[in-house]
Structure 1
Amino acid sequence: MTMTEDKKPGGPDLTRGVSLREFKDGKLLGHVGEEDVLLVHAAGDVFAIEPECSHWHGPLAEGLVVGDTIRCPWHHACFSLRTGEATRAPAINTLAVWEVTRDQDRIMVQRKRDMPKPSASHRTAPTPERFVIVGGGGAGFAAAEMLRREGFAGSITMLSSDGAMPTDRPNLSKDYLAGNAPEEYLPLRPEDYYGDASIDLRLNTNVSAIDPKTRSVTLGNGDKLPFDRLLLATGAEPVKLQIPGADQPHVHTLRSVADSRAIIKAAGSAKRVLVIGASFIGLEVAASLRARKLEVHVVAPEERPMQKVLGPEMGDFIRKVHEENGVSFHLKDTVEKIDGTRATLKSGAVIEADLVVVGIGVKPRLALAEHAGLAADRGVSVSEYLETSVAGIFAAGDIARWPDPHSRQTIRVEHWVVAERQGQTAARNMMGKRERFDAVPFFWSQHFDVVINYLGHADSYDHIEIDGSISKRDCMLRYIKAGRVLAVASINRDLDNLKAELEMERARG
């Protein structure tokens, strides 16, 4: 989506030619006919590419050029400047590129290049024919898509317990829940994609067992499905609230499209919402439901929202942002019971709420892996190639615990971008390529008009170095342990966040 009907293309007409002297920081935004085009001077060449990220339309002109690639400032997707291919999630779709001609010092763009066809020429070994993916979330989808993109011609069966096609899950607690994004934005690819790509996507399909010896999975209906390579991407499920009244129909969790739809439906007639938990998901739900003009109360045991991950200063700021937008907090408190619409807190306070959303964390779905005898340690243990303790069986996403070269620990994280990137790496390794997963973990969180980008992983830290002003929404926080920066969080410092990602990549190991 590079153009809208009421938006005219900006910058110079590139068919008439421009000079390198007109570039700023190696980039120039212009147009060819009615289409915006970004020129990039990099790697000793000039490239012409569509200027908006194919994920959520982030402005690539504000991104970071690394070699012959460009990274999106919003969610760290990466594109090849030569081919337009989305080489790193969360973007999946290729961007258009144009041919660039040079006449002395004039640079001209006139003709769009044809999209390249997938090639299997770089395979390193013969590939088995039957691949099975258990899970229909970000990791499973990204793996299936990458297998076809890399030229895998064998069968791909994708088994999803969900009733919805693979979905842009961050949208479920953000813009879709807030009423700012239509439902057609949710699917990662349209329904006909799976048929066209010969991906056998089976929704509402449960897997009851995996047998590593016979190389087969048993479905809920008893059918057996053989595999040569298997990817486990079963994801996580919301932690259930264990108090009296938590099983009432107006008490919701949020993980799936169906969950988000149910909350939106309930919000249509609700007046007051109780959000239990000041996690990222809980507070994003609070912000989204305030956008729907509901009264919102948040109850959580912490002293500050998100203090463990972001620290006290950022926690105080996030609370203030929410309070300025009408959210009421009841911190250092818990809900003891829900009797009808009446929620009683440990402190004795009572909140009347006709809609309750529980956001107290998620737990990885490990039962299949554990019953199959795969090595597990608070997650499915995988090598740097995302292979489990059984050869030919891989794991990715929320269930995978992998050796992270940046924190120098084995870690498991529940981030959307990480899940997709692991799916992509696992796919290439299922085809016989030995590619280490060493991407720096990244996620973003949205609170009204404040977006926090978080990079790296810090279970704990010695101190936080703050550059800029949190209150003025212009800051970079560095989480430091034993003299090393393990993670950074930023507000309105997108380019700095991208540069920090590159620094971490170069310093890994």
Structure 2
Amino acid sequence: MAQDQGKPTGPDLSQGIALADVPDGSKLVGRCGDEQVLLVCRGTELFAVSATCTHYGGPLVDGLVTDDTVRCPWHHACFDLRTGEALRAPAFNPLASWAVEQRDGRIFVSEKLKRATPKPRSGGSGQVPEKIVIVGGGAAGFAAAEMLRREQFQGSIVMISDDQSPPVDRPNLSKDYLAGKAPEDWIPLRSEKFYSKNNIDLRLKTEAVHVDARSRQVVLADGGRIPYDRLLLATGAEPVRLAVPGADQPHVHTLRSFADCKAIIARAATARRAVVVGASFIGLEVAAALRSRDIDTHVVATEKRPMERVLGPQMGEFIRALHEAHGVVFHLEETVGSIDGGKVKLSSGDTLAADFIVVGIGVRPRTGLAEAAGLVVDRGVAVNAFLETSAPWIFAAGDIARWPDPHSGENIRVEHWVVAERQGQTAALNMLGHREKFVAVPFFWSQHYDVPINYVGHAERWEEIVVEGDIAARYCLLRFNGNGRTLAVASVFRDVEILEAEVAMEHTVPV
């Protein structure tokens, strides 16, 4: 999460530094008063912005400057160097900006600039809607609502969520927060005041049961109806349940919501032994978090190697060794046959003792509302490049959306947090009449103890994996190649190179 800012370091930029200290294309971190400032030189122009990303506090000096933007090395947020605006999720808050001037061969950073209200982008077409309804309180739904207000949409926004909590930072639920390293006030994406201040009608614990596309109304479980001019379906996904005897007992958990996470933490407070079912990203992040709490943790999974399907055999072996070094015990190529109280019986006949069980065997998209509304559904809600569904004025984004990905040349559906947020942002613009295609390169990150894994692109299949660097030394880049090009890239502590790979993918769309 956010790093400790501490006392600002580096040269005092208000006193000036030599122009030669910041050659073209370079970055430098200094201080201005009690704040850390990033100074960037692009040709004849100089920019001064906050030195840390507003998402988790990543050091932007270690990121990538391209065009007039800077990208965070940790989770690939992107900021405008001219205005500080957060152009791409996962960051939403802008960077502060400072005035910069040159005198007598020196650079001076002076006053902090007053934050200007972002101008709505031009080019919208058609009638501006008055009523927008968002079904879903996750990444895509939140990002859409935030972007609508950022674009100064003045109409009504109703956000329907069957969750009991406002939109939260879901990736943290299986990482730092579950491990006990992040305070609870870091988890909401925004405080409840944000919704009232921005006139977003957030309705929690509210279930939408039907979409009447003909009359443009969303029907609620209590019989209420909410009219819309534009509708965004962002219903997300739900965990796959374990279908074995005993899996319905109260000490068997899945992890999706804030309430799920709190329930696991409550169990962990008095537990000594846990079983995690599934060696997926969620399963292994949970295992790492439980080991941080000194809980004996066993992982049961059908795979031969953890995460091999996504990251390949070499990374699979590395991840297994990493977790084993931290005390995790694997039971691979195994399934759970039954759960009897504190006993978990495996397909091999072995029995594991557990005070509680966490099931992480995947999720399925919540497409029921779309299907009942008569929308085209094909392994997800089918959308076009503008995230429009088969019905007029209805959009879809996030885990349910299957869209034409220009980079892979295929229709894909992914369950990445950042993709959902960026789709929510694009859907918001298109609901306002812009014709902006969703062309972002898919990105996700995973954290295992002190080892981050970043991944850009999308490769369901590949012909070869080219490894640059040393996986065991935790400094590597893996290129997943197929059809004569790079389909995806994964990295461990090779942050700039994977950002460069992302930019290259953005500029290279296959015919």
Task: Return the TM-score normalized by structure 2.
Answer: 0.98
Counterpart-to-counterpart distance in 2, 1:82 and 1:104: 24
1:76 equivalent in alignment to 2:76: yes
Q: Deviations over 1:143-189 (max 9, x none)?
A: 00000001111000000110011001000000000000011000111
Structure 2 equivalent of residue 424 of structure 1:
425
Structure 1 equivalent of residue 270 of structure 2:
269
1:59 equivalent in alignment to 2:63: no
Give how far 1:508 is off.
1.4
Q: Partner letter of residue 232 of structure 1?
A: L
Structure 1 residues 2-401: aligned runs within 5 Å: 7-23=6-22, 26-42=26-42, 44-120=44-120, 122=122, 124-125=124-125, 126-401=127-402
Moved over 3 A (4+): 1-5
Structure 2 equivalent of residue 505 of structure 1:
506
Counterpart-to-counterpart distance in 2, 1:55 and 1:121: 23
Give how far 1:443 is off.
0.3
Counterpart-to-counterpart distance in 2, 1:223 and 1:118: 36
Q: Partner letter of residue 107 of structure 1?
A: I
Give how far 1:106 is off.
1.2
Counterpart-to-counterpart distance in 1, 2:11 and 2:239: 51
Q: Partner letter of residue 26 of structure 1?
A: S
Counterpart-to-counterpart distance in 2, 1:158 and 1:104: 55
CA contact (8 A) 2:70 2:81 kept: yes
CA 1:2/1:257 → structure 2, altered by over 3 Å: closer, same or farther?
closer
Counterpart-to-counterpart distance in 2, 1:20 and 1:199: 47
Q: Partner letter of residue 499 of structure 1?
A: E
Q: Partner letter of residue 92 of structure 2?
A: I
Q: Partner letter of residue 383 of structure 1?
A: N
Q: Partner letter of residue 18 of structure 1?
A: I
Q: Partner letter of residue 14 of structure 2?
A: T
Q: Determine helix, strand or coil for the equivalent of 2:162.
A: coil
Give how far 1:119 is off.
2.8
CA contact (8 A) 2:2 2:55 kept: no
CA RMSD of aligned residues (A): 1.3
Which runs of 5 or more structure 1 residues have no equivalent in the other structure?
A: none
CA 1:266/1:235 → structure 2, altered by over 3 Å: closer, same or farther?
same
Q: Determine helix, strand or coil for the equivalent of 1:437.
A: coil
Counterpart-to-counterpart distance in 1, 2:347 and 2:184: 38
Counterpart-to-counterpart distance in 1, 2:329 and 2:8: 44
Q: Deviations over 1:396-434 (max 9, x none)?
A: 000000000111000000000000000000000000000
Q: Determine helix, strand or coil for the equivalent of 2:14.
A: coil
Which runs of 5 or more structure 2 residues have no equivalent in the other structure?
A: none
Q: Partner letter of residue 48 of structure 2?
A: A
Counterpart-to-counterpart distance in 1, 2:214 and 2:104: 65
Q: Deviations over 1:324-373 (max 9, x none)?
A: 00000000111100011101000010001011000000000000000000
CA contact (8 A) 1:136 1:158 kept: yes
CA 1:370/1:43 → structure 2, altered by over 3 Å: closer, same or farther?
farther
Identity %: 59
CA contact (8 A) 1:295 1:326 kept: yes
Give how far 1:502 is off.
0.4
Counterpart-to-counterpart distance in 1, 2:170 and 2:74: 16
Counterpart-to-counterpart distance in 1, 2:381 and 2:98: 44
1:462 equivalent in alignment to 2:463: yes
Q: Determine helix, strand or coil for the equivalent of 1:486.
A: strand
Give how far 1:23 is off.
2.5
Q: Determine helix, strand or coil for the equivalent of 1:264.
A: helix
CA contact (8 A) 1:3 1:9 kept: no
Q: Determine helix, strand or coil for the equivalent of 2:76.
A: coil
CA contact (8 A) 1:168 1:188 kept: yes
Give how far 1:118 is off.
3.5
Task: Return the TM-score normalized by structure 1.
Answer: 0.98
Q: Deviations over 1:27-46 (max 9, x none)?
A: 11111111111100125310
CA contact (8 A) 1:388 1:395 kept: yes
Counterpart-to-counterpart distance in 2, 1:119 and 1:202: 29
Counterpart-to-counterpart distance in 2, 1:120 and 1:505: 24
